[in-house]
Amino acid sequence: MTADRSRAYEEAVRVRLAAARLWAAHRAPYLASAVFALNPVILEPAAHDDTGAPVADPEFRAFPADTRWNLYVEPGTALATPVEEIGWWMLHQVGHLVRGHASRSPARPRPGREAAGAPARGEEAHRWNQAADAELNDDVVAEDLPGPAGVISPAELGLPAHRTAEEYVPMLDVLAEAMGRGGQALAEAIDCGSAVDGRERTYEDAGSAGGLTRLDRDLLERSIAAAAVRDRISGRGEVPAGWRRWAEERLRPSVNWRARLGAVIRSGLSTVAGQVDFSYRRPSRRAGAYAGVVPPSMVRAVPDTVLVVDTSGSVTGDVLNRLLAEVTGIIDGVAGPGRRLRAFCCDVRPYPVQVVRRAGDIALTGGGGTDMRAGLAAATALRPRPDLVVVLTDGRTAWPERRPAARVVVCLIGEGGHAPGWASVVRVPARVPVKGGA
């Protein structure tokens, strides 16, 4: 393609991007500053052999982004995509960016885990992309903005709404397997770029100065969150539930951890309970009405929960005791009070299991380093096997590479440390205030 033609296409692409930005900012006013912060990087077009016109490359249909807020635009794709759809993808990519999907990604490269370079996107990264899309599209769809054809939608797949990407991963695994047996694919393979999984793409120019710094991103997120809360209060526009929650947590993380902890544990308990709700163990009392057909009876199963407490010495006993009281209070609220609970302490190795009725009965022992690989292996080796494992830790530990055979909720204490992508995570402050305070 000649330089002149290339410039003409680039100009046409810029005009479309400008129109798409206006459309997106108008549809979601609280995201306007975010939409304008996206930095479009126009890639070299793939040209048609005969006509020389740019050809759309499906790899770029999602207008993939990186974590510096660069939006990679492939000219053929941009010229072939309606303006509204480009705007939709802009809102979608902003969602990946501000919700930190790249840093939450279980497929992001970690030191010592794999060789340098950008290896092919594996199954894990692909599933994570779909789960992150499910988390976002809920809200974009709720705004009466139906997504482009082929994108993941929890409603269309019959999945529960308003879950996190971490929660959608196992649901999509089950669904994909079932659909695969019927010869169907779950959804089209859409790649949203390194903004979703933290894996650098070959088309990214890592050395360029373009895009936002960490500080820019932080300031931008705070202003988006403030705008979302302001728009909701003033009634200027609909702010979807997921964005409202994100904004409130972003602005007041220390106040809302308790509510979030409750929501995550209750969600873990009810998902587990939901898996065994239909049971043939007891025939329904109305069985006679069905003339020979025995319907499954609804059993309110109480999920079996195990607490794993990091007693490595970097977390103080005072904080652990208060957190344990919070966690057991939440479990009592769902499962009924006074239920026996299994718990054990773990530093570099797991200690014997304690069966307790109250948080205060748990004896905290341990010290030194932490290895939660040992803790989780011990938890899932218990018989009967727990449905839900709640881990209390500062996250300064190695974690198992793969998701264990139980749902895991991690209460991550303090600012440092990390939790694996396959777990549901709630960050709690290192200084846990007495209940009633904040």
Question: In whole angstroms, how close is the CB of 23 to Zn ion at the nearest point?
Answer: 18
User: Which residues lie across from 194 on neighbouring strands?
Assistant: none
Is 39 in contact with 211 (CB distance < 8 Å)? Answer: yes
Region label for 362, one of left (φ > 0), alpha (ψ between -120 and 50) or beta (otherwise): beta
Residue closer to Zn ion by CB (options 133, 394) is 133
Residue closer to Zn ion by CB (options 93, 397) is 93
**Residue 420: how many CA atoms within 13 Å on its side-chain side?**
18
Interface stretch with Zn ion, choices 192-200, 202-210, 223-231, 233-241 (CB under 5 A): 192-200
Interface stretch with Zn ion, choices 76-84, 155-163, 185-193, 272-280 (CB under 5 A): 185-193
Residue closer to Zn ion by CB (options 91, 428) is 91
Q: What burial class does residue 416 get, using C-beta atoms within 10 Å of its C-beta: 0-12 exposed, 13-18 middle, 19+ buried?
A: exposed
Contacts (CB under 5 A) with Zn ion, residues 125-144: 133
Question: In whole angstroms, how close is the CB of 18 to Zn ion at the nearest point?
Answer: 22
Among 198, 210, 214, 8, CA closest to 108: 198
> How many other CB atoms are there within 10 angstroms of residue 307's CB atom?
26
Distance CA 398, CA 136 (A): 29
Question: In whole angstroms, how close is the CB of 92 to Zn ion at the nearest point?
Answer: 5
Residue closer to Zn ion by CB (options 34, 392) is 34
Question: In whole angstroms, how close is the CB of 316 to Zn ion at the nearest point?
Answer: 40
Question: In whole angstroms, how close is the CB of 157 to Zn ion at the nearest point?
Answer: 15
Nearest residue (beta carbon) to Zn ion: 192
Residue closer to Zn ion by CB (options 128, 257) is 128
> How many other CB atoms are there within 10 angstroms of residue 318's CB atom?
10
Interface stretch with Zn ion, choices 189-197, 226-234, 286-294, 330-338 (CB under 5 A): 189-197
Question: In whole angstroms, how close is the CB of 196 to Zn ion at the nearest point?
Answer: 5
Interface stretch with Zn ion, choices 160-168, 184-192, 223-231, 416-424 (CB under 5 A): 184-192
Question: In whole angstroms, how close is the CB of 251 to Zn ion at the nearest point?
Answer: 25
Distance CA 39, CA 34 (A): 10
Residue closer to Zn ion by CB (options 101, 322) is 101
First to last CA, the chain: 62
Distance CA 264, CA 286 (A): 35
Residue closer to Zn ion by CB (options 192, 265) is 192
Pairing mode, if any, of strands 407-413 and 424-428?
Answer: parallel
Question: How many residues lie near Zn ion (CB under 5 A)?
Answer: 2
Residue 413 lies near Zn ion (rule: CB under 5 A): no
User: Which residues lie across from 47 on neighbouring strands?
Assistant: 54
Out of 13, 90, 192, 265, the only residue in the binding site for Zn ion (CB under 5 A) is 192
Residue closer to Zn ion by CB (options 186, 345) is 186
Is 325 in contact with 360 (CB distance < 8 Å)? Answer: yes
Question: In whole angstroms, how close is the CB of 136 to Zn ion at the nearest point?
Answer: 6
Provide the H-helix boundaries in 182-338. 194-197, 214-234, 241-251, 253-275, 317-335
DSSP, collapsed to helix, strand or coil, labels residue 35 as: helix
Cis peptide bond N-terminal to 384, omega within 30: yes
- Total residue count of the chain as it appears in this document: 438
Interface stretch with Zn ion, choices 36-44, 101-109, 118-126, 191-199 (CB under 5 A): 191-199
Binding mask 288-327 for Zn ion (x = CB under 5 A): ----------------------------------------
User: Which residues lie across from 427 on neighbouring strands?
Assistant: 412
Residue closer to Zn ion by CB (options 190, 225) is 190
Residues found near Zn ion in the complex (CB under 5 A): 133, 192
